Chain A
Amino acid sequence: MLQADAAIAASADSWCDVSILGWMDANMCAPLGALLQRQIVAGKNITVNQVTPETEKILCKNEFLERFGRLSIADRHKTTIKYSEFRPEDKEAFQRYIASHFRSKSKGLPKMSDLLLRKFRESLFEIYGNAVEHSETQGGIFACGQFYPGRHRLDFSIADLGVGIRERIRRDLGLNMNPQEAVDWALKGNTTRTGKRPGGLGFSLIREFVQLNKGRIIVLSDAGYWEFAEGKTNVLSIQWPFPGTVVTIEINTADKASYRLKSEVNPNEIF
């Protein structure tokens, strides 16, 4: 995907045909939509003409291909979470989107405990909030997800076309890190905040949730790739940088683990 994006950018042609030959996880529409949007804004005319039939069906159900002139298909099983683009200032739109898909009575949602569902929603809000606060994205924020009922899995991705984690750290703290160091640093609970408002808890909370759930979280920013699953972290440098940040969260919807706290906080001992 990133290699193709680089090829489109380098091409002198104003018309570019994109083919999706093979299976693509539907939540990947978020970063793909971001990349194509960037090309469109740069003046390229993008068409999507060749898509493997199975993939095409899903990308019509989640309305991604509607962006490129295809008709949407009704999703009878309600396993798709619609591809959507958001402006950073329109938080209500994202809140409505999340509420429509991830409340206990939402159609198609697998049976999940209320607390698991709430933890998942809050993780998505934390990720979106990070994109709004830190990315300086001019190109919007892109979201898409997919349920896999047979595998008891729910995948969701949020992408932005912002400055990326490495550049954020450089601008705010004057620290020069390579892209994978930057992503690793940020995901350890560090913060670039130096002003009057503390920060740095968001990803720690998501990581703890994913660990308990036995899910997975993947962050791609610039050329830094970071993955956490089964208690292990994997950090890599990739060849083709992503022009912004993509966060993907995969959760186990059959998780019966209790998210109830082991010990309750005394309300008299908070402040």
Chain B
Amino acid sequence: MPDVIISLVQVIENKFCTASDDGEKVYSRIVEAIKGGDKVQISFEGVEDLTSAFLNAAVGQLYGEFPEDKLRSVLLPPLEASPEDLALLKRVVDRAKAFFQDPERFKRAAREESGNAN
């Protein structure tokens, strides 16, 4: 059972979950809940549109704040999420995990690909 249900639409007061600054508002709520010792369930009820930019801010950056196993234990399966919402969230989470495991890897890959390798 969750201690806290965080509704995306209610937090940002908007059914368009598309802007990263709105994602930041959700992020702040989730961080506050986790630091308060709560288990969190994110609700997608009422979401009309959803972007990776929003989810990167809302959820992706959690992986820079908390260890992966901590998040696995406190973030419960999302509520009212369509299959497409879940698929996008999964991609964002997987990318965030890879990013924070080795942020320098992304920079190195960029340098190598551009031919600017050191």
Contact = CB atoms under 8 A, between A and B. Distances in A.
A95 B83 contact: no
Given A261-B84, A270-B93, A201 B49 contact: no
Contacts of B65: 196
Interface in A7-65: none
Interface in A171-229: 173, 175-177, 181, 185, 188, 190-191, 194, 196-202, 205
A212 to B, nearest CB: 13
Given A91-B18, A133-B53, A267-B78, A201 B91 contact: yes
Nearest to B83: A264
B50 A265 contact: no
B11 interface: no
A136 interface: no
Contacts of B29: none
Nearest to B104: A194
A180 to B, nearest CB: 12
A202 B113 contact: no
Nearest to A128: B18
A267 B75 CA distance: 11
A180 B86 CA distance: 34
B106 A191 contact: yes
Q: Is the interface of A mostly helix, strand, loop or mixed?
A: helix
Interface residues of A, number: 44
Nearest to B99: A198
Interface residues of B, number: 48
Q: Is the interface of B mostly helix, strand, loop or mixed?
A: helix
B2 interface: no
Nearest to B62: A271
A132 B19 contact: yes
Given A198-B96, A199-B56, A125 B20 contact: no
Contacts of B53: 125-126, 129-130, 133, 199, 202
B49 A118 contact: yes
A99 interface: yes
B51 A129 contact: yes
Contacts of A264: 83, 86-87
A91 to B, nearest CB: 5
Interface of A: 91-92, 95, 99, 115, 118, 121-122, 125-126, 128-130, 132-133, 169, 173, 175-177, 181, 185, 188, 190-191, 194, 196-202, 205, 259-261, 264-265, 267-271
